Amino acid sequence: MHIAAINAGDTLIPLWRGTFRADPDDDKSTWPWAVLMKETWKKHGSTIADATLFLPGSFDHPPHNPVEKINSGFKAWEWLLYLYGMGPAALFGVLPDPYWTNLCHLVSGMCLMQQYHITRTDLIKAHEHLLTFVHDFETIYYQHHIDRLHFVRPWIHSTTHIPSETIAKGPPICSSQWTMERTIGNLAQEIRLHNSSVYANLSRRAACRCQINAIKAIIPSIEPEQNSLPKGSQDLGNGYVLLRRRERTAHPLRPCEAGAILHYLSTCRIDVTAALSVTRWARVRLPNGQVARSAWKENAMSQQPHIARNIKLSIDGEMSIAEVLFYFNMTIHDEAKTFALVSQFSPPHAELLRCSFQTVIACHYHGDTSLKLIEVSAIQSVVAMVPHRFPGIDDTLFYLIEWPGLDIIQMGGIE
């Protein structure tokens, strides 16, 4: 995945900024793709920096302002979120159409290949997008000019082999450099002899860890299970856990919130005559380890946190995006259930979705006019929804960024 992150960014960004090394016979003023220059580059950097507040903490290290940090310590993970998460939306209307479309082919193919679970259909789609990216890159950048041959770096050709190698070796994210780097970091923390016999100590620690892992694999019961649930939490089963903060007593709801709950109860054939009150919970830990917060929790914080209340839902096989207002428990037909009151985002902008090959999923936010009650088990993951003004579109839309590696959302009905 470092191919997709550092190498791609190290080629594309200098091309777009007009700082890529040029042959003496190649006039940079003839580069139609060199648009991220001067004030346009600064404005683009501010757009990226402003978006980081909307990235949940579970997304790890958000990208810095590329104007300030791209040449000093911009990490591979930052490249991944910047180029593949924010790139297609942030560069829409900035890059000329052929070059933006070429980027979307790369992002679409690589995002499919970053999943832990990859279907045969996804492999075929990714292969098609990556082949198109390479062909079009050579056509619109290299243009078969010998003085631009150095544009076509080895990583560009390597992307075409990723889908076929996945069949033999499994998803690239499981065999990528991330795993090795984490292992090196963990072993380095265990070194105790820093001044002498460092490598002997490191070798011994690695051998010891292998022995321990082998014993655990042979005798799984040798390591007792540990209860990792925090104090005051509630285990919901199947990996879902309600986490505090929690109200001590039930509180009445706003009319719009009560209306959404009453509508759900009417579908369950339950009549409610008394005023509705609930005891709200603030957070839910998901099976994938992410923690989904709520607007009730985040809006009460004195300092604005990184927003983690936007979620991806799966209801009857249909995928959608929503903002969580709060969580609560309710008993229906003698069965205890846990619900989330959410505000659903609109379906994605159809034209942006189509022309970006589903890399730009941009929705309207309807707030209290689109409330719905859903069971917590419908929540798939925490996502980022970043507000952005797309050129040529009057309203502010919120575009989706998913955590690299999780199964990406597929919006049905639009090819």
pLDDT digit string, tens, across residues 299-358: 988 888 899 999 999 888 888 999 999 999 998 888 899 999 999 999 999 999 999 999
Domain residue spans of the chain: 2-177, 234-401
Is the pLDDT at 414 greater than 50? The verdict is no
Separation between Cα atoms, residue 226 and residue 57, nearest integer Å: 25
145-167 per-position pLDDT tens digit = 999 999 999 999 999 999 988 88
The pairs formed by 351-357 with CB atoms below 8 angstroms and a separation of 24 or more are 352/92, 352/390, 352/393, 352/397, 353/411, 353/414, 354/414, 354/415, 355/101, 355/104, 356/88, 356/92, 356/104, 356/108, 357/104, 357/105, 357/108, 357/129
366-396 per-position pLDDT tens digit = 999 999 999 999 999 999 999 999 999 989 9
Structure tokens at 171: 């998803």
Q: How many CB atoms lie within 10 A of CB 227?
A: 6
Top CATH class, 234-401 = mainly beta
Closest CA to 405 of 63, 31, 110: 110
Kindly report the backbone phi and psi dihedral angles of residue 394, in degrees, each rounded to the nearest multiple of 5, phi listed first: -70, -45
Side-chain-side CA neighbours of residue 272 (13 Å): 17
Is the pLDDT at 242 greater than 90? The verdict is yes
Is the pLDDT at 293 greater than 50? The verdict is yes
94-146 per-position pLDDT tens digit = 999 999 999 999 999 999 988 888 889 999 999 999 999 999 999 999 998 99
Residue 409's pLDDT band, with cuts at 50, 70 and 90, is low
Lowest mean pLDDT among 57-61, 65-69, 80-84: 57-61
What pTM, to 2 d.p., does this model score? Answer: 0.87
